[in-house]
Amino acid sequence: MQSGDLIDLDITDVAHGGVFVGRHEGRVVFVPDAIPGERVRVRLTDTAKASFWRAELVDVTVASPHRRPHVWRQADVDMPPEQRPGGADFGHIELGHQRALKRHVLTDALQRFAGVDVPVSMQGALPLVPDAGVPAAQTAESPDGTGWRTRVSLHVGPDGRVGPFAARSHRVVAVDDYPLATAAVERAARRRGSGVPARPGRIDLVQPTDGRVRVIPRPDGRRELPPEARETIVERVGTREFRVDAGGFWQVHRLAAWTLSTAVTGVLRDLAADGVAGDGAPVLDPDAWHLDLYGGVGLFAAALADTGGVRVTSVEADAAATEHAGANLAEWVGARAETERVDRWLAGLSRSASPAERERLRRGVVVLDPPRSGAGGEVSAAIAGLEPAAVVYVACDPVALARDLKTFRERGYAASRVDAYDLFPHSHHLEAVAVLVPV
């Protein structure tokens, strides 16, 4: 068979990356927009590989009971596949079943790539506490899982068209709405989509805690950072404020930073109460040395410090983020932020740490929040080589997490729990917090 051919498939499983699995004469076929249990008609799009093919969904002949009208009208199955925008690849699935599928993908990755069989919990974003200083309507998720994106990237095509990319392509498509965005970001996106054509490239829309949307143009071919990206904005997490560049990294879901900070703080308190860190004390060992790797502007370093970690070092390669981290952590005398690639910083620490410093590191906790590609074997092995009392790994990719957990397991650290959070409703993405302790 060849690309363009139509075939009928029974969808039997979900795979990492937001695609679903069918088989044709024994060969795996990856299909978007489906649900396990469905019978579908697909058009083959890539038959070059002997091990698997790729296809696009044309019609659903037997629908799953979990299928719903897509939350993004332009991405529904009755639209031409080449016109369906990306970014909401689970938007046709009932919200609770989305989370069940994501949990399955994570559990399967842990078993397949790490040999780890550990209970995995899955829940949505944690609601803000009532006194967090925000309107009551913004303290929890919306019932339908929409209106959460505080950051949206629009793309500008060669013809001046402004909109998202079509799914799994770099082709700009026009859309009427942006249901995953907050109301303010959606209004700004609509204005950009109907306004004067911009130069080809990208336009980032950012809504920090103050509610005002910043517009950051990033035209193709421009190497220097636009001045709009360097504006210092303030993000609020509970009652604490964090300075960050408008164009810098911050969690996309309006409740994500709160959820992950709360999750990590809860894990740290549990570790202390269990005696893993701090000899059973209710807080972390104040004389230990705690690390926040890939620390950004200091979100998790603050969680470490709030939980009793007097000596905390945050390591981040982005100099602007590290500068903000220094200001965000200024209230703690023992906290500092260093600008360096994590692998290089760990290599330097391994060479230069004194016996007393190594002993403090062994009583400390390492928190890491690497990019989607994961920490990698070298960094994971280096962390394990410090022999910390515990490692708290915040991950946004199940397979990358699993591969790193395998490295940790080979070096004496076992995952005692993995808590997953659906901070990207209607997409296949998730966040997970894994707790690793010495075997």
Q: What is the pLDDT of residue 282?
A: 42
Tokens of 32: 């978007």
Residues 212-236 pLDDT 10s:
999 999 999 888 889 999 999 999 9
CB 252 within 8 A of CB 246: no
Q: What is the pLDDT of residue 279?
A: 53
- Predicted confidence (pLDDT) at residue 281 exceeds the cutoff of 60: no
Tokens of 413: 């650290």
Give me the mean pLDDT over the 373-400 stretch. 98
Q: How far is CA 90 from CA 61, 87, 181, 212, 251, in A?
A: 19, 9, 16, 29, 20
Q: What is the average pLDDT value for the chain, to the nearest integer?
A: 94
DSSP conformation letters of 344-385:
HHHHHHHHH--HHHHHHHHTSEEEE---TT-S-HHHHHHHHH
Residues 204-214 pLDDT 10s:
999 999 999 99
Distance from C-alpha of 44 to C-alpha of 320, rounded to nearest angstrom: 46
Residues 23-47 pLDDT 10s:
999 999 999 999 999 999 999 999 9
SS3 311: strand
- List 101, 120, 267, 396, catalytic entry: 396
Tokens of 271: 């570790």
SS3 284: coil
- Per-residue burial over 34-62, b = 16 or more CB atoms within 10 Å of its CB, e = otherwise: bbbbbbbebbbeebeeeeebbbbbbebee
| Per-domain boundaries in the chain | 6-67, 98-129+252-438, 146-225
Q: What is the pLDDT of residue 192?
A: 86
- The confidence band for 430, taking pLDDT boundaries of 50, 70 and 90, is very high
DSSP conformation letters of 244-278:
EETTS---SBTTHHHHHHHHHHHHHHHHHHTTSSS
Lowest mean pLDDT among 155-164, 280-289, 328-337: 280-289
Phi and psi torsions of 418, nearest 5°: -135, 120
Residues 103-154 pLDDT 10s:
999 999 999 999 999 999 999 999 998 765 667 667 899 999 999 999 999 9
Tokens of 174: 């026009």
Lowest mean pLDDT among 74-88, 151-165, 274-288, 386-400: 274-288
Pick the CATH number of 98-129+252-438 from 3.40.50.150, 3.40.50.10490, 3.40.50.720, 3.90.1150.10: 3.40.50.150
Lowest mean pLDDT among 125-134, 359-368, 412-421: 125-134
- Predicted confidence (pLDDT) at residue 274 exceeds the cutoff of 90: no
Q: What is the pLDDT of residue 199?
A: 85
Amino acid identity, residue 360? R
Residue 119 annotated among the catalytic residues of the structure: no
Count Cβ atoms below 10 Å from residue 362 Cβ, excluding itself.
Answer: 14
- Per-residue burial over 223-258, b = 16 or more CB atoms within 10 Å of its CB, e = otherwise: eeeeeebeeebebbbbebebbbbbbbbbbbbbbbbb
Q: Are strands 365-368 and 289-293 parallel, antiparallel or unpaired?
A: parallel
Distance from C-alpha of 438 to C-alpha of 415, rounded to nearest angstrom: 9
CATH architecture under which domain 6-67 falls: Beta Barrel (2.40)
